[in-house]
Amino acid sequence: MTSIFAALIAGLIFGLGLLLSGMGNPGKVLNFLDFFGTWDPSLALVMVGAIAVGIIPFTWAKRRKTAVLGEPMQLPTATAIDKRLLLGAAMFGIGWGIAGFCPGPAVMNLLTMHKEVIIFAVSMLVGMLLQQTWARK
């Protein structure tokens, strides 16, 4: 029960951060990606701030075998920059540039029930399922 509560609190803080930073607004995101038009650099500051805040717990976590709640520490171990990583990053970037959403803000915006958000979320889920199927083969 404690881990569910911790996940709920973390999700609420993440969602609040998305709202306050404007990351949930696809127009703001698209302006961030429009370098030669109406470029809005504010999301770069959000990213730098998130990285700065994240460095501390990730550095701490690397030195531990268990999480605060006693579960085994599960950090990514892959370090290779390969074709799969580059292709996935390119697909993520293209989707972000077309829709103005990445997964977190898309899930947050599902409550608006706008058809664009629903189309994005369904497309994202289909893409994830296709990738899982492809990776198994």
Residues facing residue 122 across a β-bridge: none
The model's pLDDT over 96-114, given as tens digits with 9 standing for 90+, comes to: 888 888 888 888 888 889 9
Question: 119 pLDDT band (50/70/90 cuts)?
Answer: very high
Number of domains within the chain:
2
Q: How far apart are CA 117 and CA 109, in angstroms?
A: 7
Mean of pLDDT values over 56-62: 89
pTM higher than 0.85 for the full model?
Answer: no
What b-and-e string marks burial along 58-86, b requiring 16 or more CB atoms within 10 Å of the CB? eeeeeeeeeeeeeeeeeeeeeeeeeeeee
Same domain, 98 and 129: yes
Which domain-ending residue is among 57, 77, 97?
A: 77
Domain carrying residue 52: 1-77
Token digits of residue 4: 């569910």
Helices then strands, each counted (H, E), the chain:
6, 0
Which domain-ending residue is among 56, 77, 98?
A: 77
User: What per-residue confidence (pLDDT) applies to 1?
Assistant: 67
Which domain-ending residue is among 52, 77, 102?
A: 77
The model's pLDDT over 64-92, given as tens digits with 9 standing for 90+, comes to: 888 888 888 888 888 999 998 999 899 88
